Amino acid sequence: MFDQTQSFARIESNEQTAAFFRRVYAWMSIGLFLTGIISMAVASSESLVSMIFGTPLFWVLFLGQLGLVFWLSSRVQNMSPQVATAAFLGYAALNGLTLSVIFLAYTMSSIAQVFFITGGTFGFMTLWGMTTKKDLSSLGQIAFAALIGLIIASVVNMFFQNSMIYWITSYAGVLIFMALTAWDTQKLKQISYEVDVNTAAGHNVAIIGALTLYLDFINLFIFLLRIFGGNKD
C-alpha cells in the first residue's frame, strides 16, 4: 500500500512538472517569436533604424529593458497574471527593437543557421538539466561568477576594441550560458514540485521561468552569432 501511494505521488509530481514546463516553454517561445518579428520589422525600415540607432533613443530602450526585467523579477509575486504576462511580452518587444541591429550586421542565412545551432545547443543543455541526478548548484555558481567577469571584460573592451578579448569573451559566453541553461532548468524543475500553474501564483512563476530561459537562449544565440555569423559586406 505504501509503495502504491509513493508511485501515485511520483506520477502526480511528474505530471505537475510536465505541465509547468509546457507553460514555461510556451511563453519562452512566444517571447522569442515576438522578439524576432519586431527585430526583422525594424531592420527592414530605414526610418526606424535611423530613429533607434542614430539617436539616444537606443540607450533609452536599453535602460528601459534593464529596468523592466528587474522590476518584473523583484515584483512578480505581487503582480496579477495579466500584468506579469504584459511585462514579459513588453520586455521581449523592447529586446526586439534593440536586437534588430543583428539583421544589419549579419547575413540572413547565417542568422538562421546560428538560430538552429542555438536551438540544438539549448535543447541539449536544458534536457541535461532536466534529467541529470547531479546537483548543478556548484556549476551554476561558477558560471554566474564568470558571467560577472564576462560583463566587465566586455565593457572594458568596448573602449579598447581588442580582437583577442573579443574572441575570448565570445567563446566564454557560449560556455557560460550553456552552463546557466542547465542550472536554470534544474532550478525550475525543483520549483515545479511546489507550484500549480493553474493558479495565479503558479502562472507568474512560469512567466519568470520563461524569462530566465529566454535570456539564456538570447545570450547564447548572440555569442554563437559572434563566432559563426557571417558579416554583411
- Sketch the domain layout of the chain as residue ranges: 2-228
pLDDT score for 2:
44
Output 10 or 233, whichever has higher pLDDT.
233
pLDDT score for 5:
47
Mean pLDDT of the chain: 91
Structure confidence at residue 13 as a pLDDT band (50, 70, 90): low
The closest of 139, 214, 125, 224 to 178, measured between CA atoms, is 125
pLDDT score for 3:
52
Model pTM above 0.85 = yes
pLDDT in tens, 15-57: 888 999 999 999 999 999 999 999 999 999 989 999 998 788 9
Angstrom distance (rounded) from CA 223 to CA 217 = 10
E-assigned strand segments in the chain: none
**What is the grid cell recorded at 26?**
510556451
Instruction: Indicate the SS3 state at residue 99.
Output: helix
**Has residue 92 got a pLDDT over 90?**
yes
- For residue 101, give the amino acid letter: V
110-115, long-range: CB within 8 Å, 24+ apart, which pairs? 110/225, 110/228, 110/229, 110/230, 111/225, 111/229, 113/228, 114/221, 114/224, 114/225, 114/228, 114/229, 115/221
**Has residue 168 got a pLDDT over 90?**
yes
> What residues pair up with 106 in beta bridges, in sequence order?
231
Average pLDDT over residues 183-201: 93
pLDDT score for 8:
38
- Terminal C-alpha separation, the chain: 70
pLDDT score for 15:
84
3-state SS record for 125-176: HHHHHHHCCCCCHHHHHHHHHHHHHHHHHHHHHHHHCCHHHHHHHHHHHHHH
